[in-house]
Structure 1
């Protein structure tokens, strides 16, 4: 088995182990056999399939979405520090979600999909705004310019959310939960709400995996290779924004998954997006399932917001990549 095959085998095994740990470990320990044996203990079977399993599945889908979106943004922008969180895309998605919660908007023909649609719209608009502003400031789109632009937009959008929190009443708890990031108390309805958009976003990025490889060498080279750069860039941005918006709509703002996972995968399998995207998807799912497990067990019975755990993991990795990039650039 070659290096890539080993990476897939290990990734799948880790994901299976993470899911089993996520559904069996907690305040109440549940035997693995409960997964298929309803007669053993109906109460435990109910806890596993109606409380823990949807939470674990949702955490896996959110982690996979953020990781694959981060891998695509990094490839498109040729910047290892790009991810939905550092680019401000998560903040844009959060504003879209919080507007729905704050005003209690429900569009009849969208139904339960009102929240993710507004969240995705916020993510996509923010992504376009960040790239557009960065180009105005610096035509060469240097790493520092993009990241600083993302920080500027994140700060501005954060102030909008803070304003809505200051003006809110009953919705305060729900909005704060969105900001901190959590998959707690989410049922199968949330999985059903996010899944269609996660499938669409993932397919969009997967269909552009070869184009992402071509864009690594620059837009001119990609054009010579027959890539319709403008259309493909919009498809990649749309795919990443759909994934980010869907993830934020059901879990709130969870940072650094899209930064950490693709970086680690590149160290193992290289920068080929034909391998990077699926491996990021699998390992992003595993990482967030394990982070969620840690968030609800580390100080049990109290739960930490999952965003706190990912920030503890992601901030040092962000600092390391930034330091490495600066040293390489200065060499």
Structure 2
């Protein structure tokens, strides 16, 4: 045990986690300071101690809930992505494949188009509709993949692809029926962003986010066993059906909260786990928390770019993550293709 803790591989994992923790703090500091109303990041502690002024109001009312919410959303998406990639044993798997992202987007679209003029209720009801849509979609996929021999992961994956196509058609129909004002709101929601985050919304989603994180982080050792194959994991004492159920439930809950808070922010669940594997390794005991930290950094940086690249205008965060994550996904596909060809 002591020899394992002092091994070069363990030291590398520990070093990468430490660096990522520092990067999270730095990204939060930069995200809180930079923007249309710039505040020197090093002056933030003194501003908070002073407890008054325009800069204090900007930080506490606007910037802090936004950057903390972005970090929470990025961590949830990356953690869910790492678990699902371990469950499917495929680094190309994204949380959107289990249907929760598309289901949440459809729930939000239904509320925006079919319940116009909600007024103050929209701030609270829209995330609720998105969250319920994601959970219902995941429950439907789970039922479709249930067989006499348990949940078939391949069927779950294929059902998710079919559901994403159907949801895309539903959102397209609602877009056709939407008014001009509803269309703007729908477009913003589907593209994703953190500008609508408030302390109240953030605190409302935090309990569910904690439940999801606890469920997923406890799956590290079973996922390490599953990496050897389902038969080997079974002989090592892993309850495969319970593992699948907990992984999908925890991922659905986490991604549902993320989509309810920020809309359609894609590719973080794909990119962050793979980057951590490249930096440190595939051990899920370190991969899961490391992916969460890296996802938080990427989300805060993406939000910072969205706020500053076209200031005073704001680019949707989902556009930024797609521009960064799309080429990375193509790189993964080409790399996987070369590995299969060599085999």
Q: Is 2:35 aligned against 1:26?
A: yes
> How do 1:190-209 residues align onto structure 2 when only pairs under 5 Å count?
190-209=201-220
Change (3 A) 1:179 1:296: same
Distance 1:279 1:123 in 2: 28
- Say which SS state the counterpart of residue 56 (structure 1) adopts: helix
Instruction: Give the equivalent residue in structure 2 for 1:165.
Output: 175
CA distances 1:94-132 after superposition (whole Å, capped 9, x unpaired): 1233334444499x9xx7673354044145236537867
Per the alignment, residue 16 of structure 1 pairs with 25
Partner of 2:221: 210
The match for 2:336 is 325
- Out of 105, 108, 132, the residue aligned to residue 118 of structure 1 is 132
Unaligned runs of 5+ in 2: 1-5
Q: Does the Cα contact within 8 Å between 1:34 and 1:40 map onto a contact in 2?
A: no
CA shift in 2, pair 1:313/1:161, >3 Å? same
Contact 2:47 2:55 in 1 (8 A): no
RMSD: 2.7
**Equivalence for 2:110:** 99
Q: How does 1:1-331 map to 2 (within 5 A)?
A: 2-31=11-40, 32-38=42-48, 39=50, 42-86=53-97, 88-104=99-115, 114-115=128-129, 117-125=131-139, 127-128=141-142, 141=154, 146=157, 150-169=160-179, 170-331=181-342
The answer to whether the 8 Å contact 2:104/2:129 transfers is no
TM-score (norm 1): 0.88
The two structures have a TM-score, normalised by structure 2, of 0.85
Structure 1: which 5+ runs fail to align?
Answer: none
Q: Cα distance, 1:29 vs. partner? A: 1.4
Could you say what secondary structure the match of 1:299 adopts? Answer: coil
Secondary structure in structure 1 of the residue aligned to 2:228: coil
Tell me, yes or no, if the aligned pair for 2:32 and 2:59 is still in contact at 8 Å. yes
CA distance in 2, matches of 1:126, 1:77: 19
Q: Is the 8 A contact 2:145 2:153 kept in 1?
A: no
Q: 1:60 to 1:252 in 2, by over 3 A?
A: same
Deviation of the 1:212 alpha carbon: 1.2
For residues 48-69 of structure 1, the C-alpha deviation after alignment (integer angstroms, 9 at most, x for no partner) is: 1110110101111111111010
Deviates more, 1:149-158 or 1:20-29: 149-158
Contact between 2:104 and 2:131, CA under 8 Å: does it hold in 1?
no
